[in-house]
Amino acid sequence: MEKITLGISTCLLGENVRYDGGHKLDRLLTDTLGQYVEYLPVCPEVECGLGVPREPMHLEGDPNSPRLVTIYSKEDLTDRMARWAQKRVAELENENLSGFILKSDSPSSGMERVKVCNEEGTPVKKGVGIFAKIFVEHFPLIPVEDEGRLHDPELRENFIERIFTLKRWREVLGKKENRGNMVEFHTKHKLLILSHSPKHYQMMGRLVARVKDLPLKELYRQYQTLLMECLHLKTTPKKNANVLEHMMGYLKEQLSSDEKQEWLEVIGHYRKGKIPLIVPVTLINHYVRKHNQPYLKQQAYLYPHPLELQLRNHASKITHCIKTKKEE
Ligand code: SF4
């Protein structure tokens, strides 16, 4: 499989580029996800010409438009960083990035809730790092996460699903642009789309139905925007359970009443957070293979990312919430 290219904050790969000469190696990213992706490291502070070690810096002022200032000598590095970042994001256009993993809390690389100090020196966690902001504005559709959030199983699954789907979409773009390729992609991703957003499922269905009315470029543009918007929305046990029930409709002739009953029970357990999503998905895969159901067989929903990443092996947070409530 051709690897997916992801941008990453250099210190997360274990490179000693931090202000104190250290790093923030994250083994989940290097050892686990690293088997499937190729990283393109970016360290804004080093690449804009600041050395290692260097004086630490932070954000100051208006959280919507903060300044990047060194902590002791009070040197304002905002314009220098912003000029470099604008140039760097333009270069990154040639790298075919399918996503970016940023270092949390950094005044240069943090994507959200970065500390910004007001005039009294009191920090509020409302800022975005200078490079991160420019990157996201330049690439609004590219999936972006920080390493801290990726340790949450649900956010991790969402991010990885987005990067793998974007890769499959890019493969369509890499072929000759034609309506047939787009319709084929949509057909394979219908249930994945439905599991994130029934509203987008409707909108994208209507768009694909107008496939002959719109100029091809416009059609591709609108479809990609809706696809990335849709996948950004989280799946929930309720949405997944609806998809799983919907799938049963395609096998209603082949399954015995006992098998249907078992399927509904498994979905019910999943919906209540008692078992992880992998359980009903494995059961459905078994029936799909056994009965060779052609529509379900091609659904990306059944194989959105490599099984080895074990992204669907966690029970929903609902279970945790229920337990915590009971324990209180
Ligand atoms: S957080 Fe960003 S700027 Fe800081 S060391 Fe890591 S990559 Fe470089």
pLDDT at position 310 is 74
pLDDT of 211 above 60: yes
Q: Give the closest residue to 316 by CA, choosing from 264, 263, 287, 280.
A: 280
In the chain, % of residues over pLDDT 70: 95
Dihedral (CA of 109, 110, 111, 117) sign: negative
Q: Give the closest residue to 163 by CA, choosing from 47, 279, 51, 33.
A: 33
Q: Is 222 helix (H, G, I), strand (E, B) or coil?
A: helix
pLDDT at position 325 is 39
> What confidence tier does 316 reach under pLDDT thresholds 50, 70, 90?
low
pLDDT of 85 above 90: yes
> What confidence tier does 31 reach under pLDDT thresholds 50, 70, 90?
very high
Measure the CA–CA gap between 176 and 161, rounded to whole angstroms: 25
Nearest atom in ligand 1 to 12's CA: 6
pLDDT at position 308 is 76
Q: Measure the N-to-C terminal CA separation of the chain; round to a whole number of Å.
A: 48
| Exposed e or buried b per residue across 155-167, where buried means at least 16 C-beta atoms within 10 angstroms of its C-beta | ebbbbbbbbbbbb
CA of 132 to the centre of ligand 1 (A): 11
> What confidence tier does 327 reach under pLDDT thresholds 50, 70, 90?
very low
pLDDT at position 173 is 85
Residues β-bridged to residue 143: none
pLDDT tens digits, residue range 293-315?
999 999 999 988 887 787 777 76
pLDDT of 266 above 50: yes
For the Cβ of 110 lying below 6 angstroms from any atom of ligand 1, the answer is no
pLDDT at position 59 is 98
- Predicted model pTM: 0.90
> What confidence tier does 326 reach under pLDDT thresholds 50, 70, 90?
very low
What angle (nearest 5°) sits at the alpha carbon of residue 194, between those of residues 188 and 197? 135
Q: Check if the beta carbon of residue 149 is closer than 8 Å to that of residue 110.
A: no
pLDDT of 5 above 90: yes
Shortest-distance Cα residue to atom 6 of ligand 1: 11
Nearest atom in ligand 1 to 42's CA: 7
Rounded mean pLDDT, 92-99? 95
pLDDT tens digits, residue range 165-189?
999 999 888 887 788 899 999 999 9
pLDDT at position 212 is 85
6, 8, 11, 12: residue to mutate for ligand 1 pocket, most atoms within 8 A of CB: 11
12, 20, 43: residue to mutate for ligand 1 pocket, most atoms within 8 A of CB: 43
